[in-house]
């Protein structure tokens, strides 16, 4: 029997670890599985746990308003030690590139527990973009004893860093497992979806927007807001922009300041995952700087304009569903207008692709943990 501890802190970690948590908890004969929340996010984390009906075993409850990287990192390392002391995990599973994943991995190393890294090997090779995530995942990659790389390219990045090849598997990304599971649970009669239907005009083309990257704070967000305002004004009769605004005050403040008075821009609270999947499906196109949304949208056949200069997810760019537009106001306007008014350009970008997986990543990860084998999903 192996003791497995999954540590999660933010919305995307919860979404992408949810199907793995559910499957591992069902395998009592092989694993004693527990979940530890750092609660780096609070409301946005709890939304996901409620939707997937996940109960945590430990909750460090660490989020502070407008927290900073330094204190959050040290708070996690300090607060998680007693959890490791009590549960004595054989494996600590961390996800991706957040402060939670890197601090939990480092603390696990200090406590003598082995670390398995889910969504390993993503790189932009620019340590300032995304900041601090590129450095976080590189550090976690150095600590980890097992690497679950979503794609061939992410495995190759690890091999190039001289990570031992027998510790790396290509599993696909659990984001697709989560999306497939999430779609089966969407209830069109849920309060949030019913409310969305009452405020959105679904006869118009819906542009769904999300954004929260630290490197875009300040001028970047101001440029993005200017672009969205022009797009909304130019296309007043047939476009509606829906923007569930991230709770980070560095995002809330500029977005509310620049966009709250435009009638065809709807600024709303972050949506629960159920409503967000529903809204992605209803959207004409998506403008985002999110990592997870870049992975989900190609599966749904939705074109994505990514407000970043570099991406650690080149697969969807290569497949043609994702285009990098940075935070240049004019570029965001030009590319959006083209997709709104040029049917050929739209059709080219809206083909369905699944470059990130087939929905079986969690089964592969569980087989690897059980048998300590290497898997090469192509």
Q: Which residues are catalytic?
A: 97, 119, 133, 212, 214, 246
Length of the chain: 378
Closest distance between ligand UD1 and the C-beta of residue 340, in Å?
Answer: 27
Cα–Cα distance for residue pair 210/208, rounded to 1 Å: 7
Name the burial class of residue 1, with classes exposed (0-12), middle (13-18) and buried (19+) by CB atoms within 10 angstroms of its CB.
exposed
Which residues, in sequence order, are bridge partners of residue 240?
206
Name, in order, each residue with C-beta under 8 angstroms of 78's C-beta and a sequence gap of 6 or more: none
Q: Does 294 engage in binding with ligand UD1 (CB under 6 A)?
A: no
Q: Does 271 engage in binding with ligand UDP (CB under 6 A)?
A: yes
Pick what 42 binds: ligand UDP, ligand UD1, none; C-beta below 5 to 8 Å, kind-dependent. Answer: ligand UD1
Supply φ then ψ for residue 61, to 5 degrees: 50, 55
C-beta closer to ligand UD1: residue 99 or 336: 99
C-beta closer to ligand UDP: residue 113 or 241: 241
Helices (H), 200-244: 219-234
**Only segment of 221-229, 234-242, 286-294, 336-344 that touches ligand UDP (CB under 6 A):** 286-294
Supply φ then ψ for residue 325, to 5 degrees: -120, 0
Pick what 65 binds: ligand UD1, ligand UDP, none; C-beta below 5 to 8 Å, kind-dependent. Answer: ligand UD1
Closest distance between ligand UD1 and the C-beta of residue 367, in Å?
Answer: 28
Closest distance between ligand UDP and the C-beta of residue 12, in Å?
Answer: 4
Neighbours of 118 (CB within 10 A): 26
Q: Does 244 engage in binding with ligand UDP (CB under 6 A)?
A: yes
Pick what 276 binds: ligand UDP, ligand UD1, none; C-beta below 5 to 8 Å, kind-dependent. Answer: ligand UDP
Closest distance between ligand UDP and the C-beta of residue 64, in Å?
Answer: 18
Among positions 55-94, residues that touch ligand UD1 (CB under 6 A) are: 63-67, 69, 72
* Angle, alpha carbons 154-84-130 (nearest 5°): 30
Neighbours of 170 (CB within 10 A): 23
Among positions 94-133, residues that touch ligand UD1 (CB under 6 A) are: 97-99, 132-133
Name, in order, each residue with C-beta under 8 angstroms of 30's C-beta and a sequence gap of 6 or more: 1, 2, 370
Q: Which of 41, 123, 266, 308 binds ligand UD1 (CB under 6 A)?
A: 41
Q: Does 247 engage in binding with ligand UD1 (CB under 6 A)?
A: yes
Name the burial class of residue 214, with classes exposed (0-12), middle (13-18) and buried (19+) by CB atoms within 10 angstroms of its CB.
middle
Helix (H) or strand (E) holding 135: helix 133-143
* Long-range CB contacts for residues 45-48, cutoff 8 Å, separation at least 24: 45/8, 45/9, 45/10, 45/11, 45/14, 47/11, 47/270, 47/272, 47/273, 48/11, 48/14, 48/15, 48/18, 48/272, 48/273
C-beta closer to ligand UDP: residue 271 or 285: 271
Cα–Cα distance for residue pair 126/134, rounded to 1 Å: 7
Cα–Cα distance for residue pair 209/288, rounded to 1 Å: 6
Pick what 273 binds: ligand UDP, ligand UD1, none; C-beta below 5 to 8 Å, kind-dependent. Answer: ligand UDP
C-beta closer to ligand UD1: residue 66 or 344: 66
Binding characters for ligand UDP, 185-214, by CB under 6 A (x = yes): -------------------------x-x--
Binding characters for ligand UD1, 201-240, by CB under 6 A (x = yes): -----------x----------------------------
Q: Which of 84, 91, 276, 356 binds ligand UDP (CB under 6 A)?
A: 276
The residue assigned the tokens 């692709």 is 353
Q: Does 291 engage in binding with ligand UDP (CB under 6 A)?
A: yes
Closest distance between ligand UD1 and the C-beta of residue 2, in Å?
Answer: 27
Site residues for ligand UDP per CB under 6 A: 11-12, 15, 210, 212, 244, 270-271, 273, 276, 290-293, 296
Note the residues at the interface with ligand UD1 (CB under 6 A).
10-12, 40-44, 63-67, 69, 72, 97-99, 132-133, 212, 247-249
């Amino acid at each position: 029997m192996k003791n497995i501890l999954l540590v999660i802190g933010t919305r995307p970690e919860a979404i992408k670890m949810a199907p793995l948590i559910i499957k591992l908890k069902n395998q009592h004969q092989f694993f004693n599985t527990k979940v530890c929340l750092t609660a780096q996010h609070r409301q946005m984390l709890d939304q996901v746990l409620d939707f997937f009906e996940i109960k945590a075993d430990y909750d460090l409850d660490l989020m502070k308003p407008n927290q900073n990287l330094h204190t959050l990192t040290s708070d996690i390392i300090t607060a998680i030690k007693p959890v490791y002391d009590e549960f004595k995990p054989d494996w600590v599973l961390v996800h991706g590139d957040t402060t939670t994943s890197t601090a939990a991995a480092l603390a696990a190393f200090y406590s003598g527990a082995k670390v398995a890294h889910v969504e390993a090997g993503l790189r932009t090779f620019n340590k300032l973009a995304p900041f601090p995530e590129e450095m976080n995942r590189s550090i976690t990659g150095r600590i980890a004893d097992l690497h679950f790389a979503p794609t061939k390219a992410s495995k190759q990045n690890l091999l190039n860093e001289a990570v031992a090849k027998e510790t790396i598997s290509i599993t696909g990304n659990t984001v697709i497992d989560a999306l497939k599971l999430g779609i089966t649970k969407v209830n069109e009669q849920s309060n949030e979806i019913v409310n969305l239907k009452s405020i959105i005009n679904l006869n118009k083309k819906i542009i769904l927007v999300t954004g929260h990257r630290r490197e875009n704070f300040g001028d970047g967000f101001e440029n993005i807001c200017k672009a969205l305002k022009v797009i909304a004004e130019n296309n007043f009769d047939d476009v509606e922009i829906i923007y569930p605004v991230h709770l980070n005050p560095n995002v809330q403040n500029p977005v509310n300041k620049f966009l709250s008075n435009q009638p065809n821009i709807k600024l709303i609270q972050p949506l629960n995952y159920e409503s967000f999947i529903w809204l992605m499906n209803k959207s004409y196109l998506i403008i985002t700087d999110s990592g997870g949304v870049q992975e989900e949208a190609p599966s749904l056949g939705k074109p994505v304009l990514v407000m970043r200069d570099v991406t650690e997810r080149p697969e969807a760019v290569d497949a043609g569903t994702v285009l990098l537009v940075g935070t240049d106001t004019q570029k965001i306007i030009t590319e959006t207008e083209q997709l709104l008014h040029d049917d050929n350009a739209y059709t080219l970008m809206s083909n369905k692709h699944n470059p990130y997986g087939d929905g079986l990543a969690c089964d592969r990860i569980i087989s690897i943990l059980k048998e300590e084998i290497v898997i090469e999903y192509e």
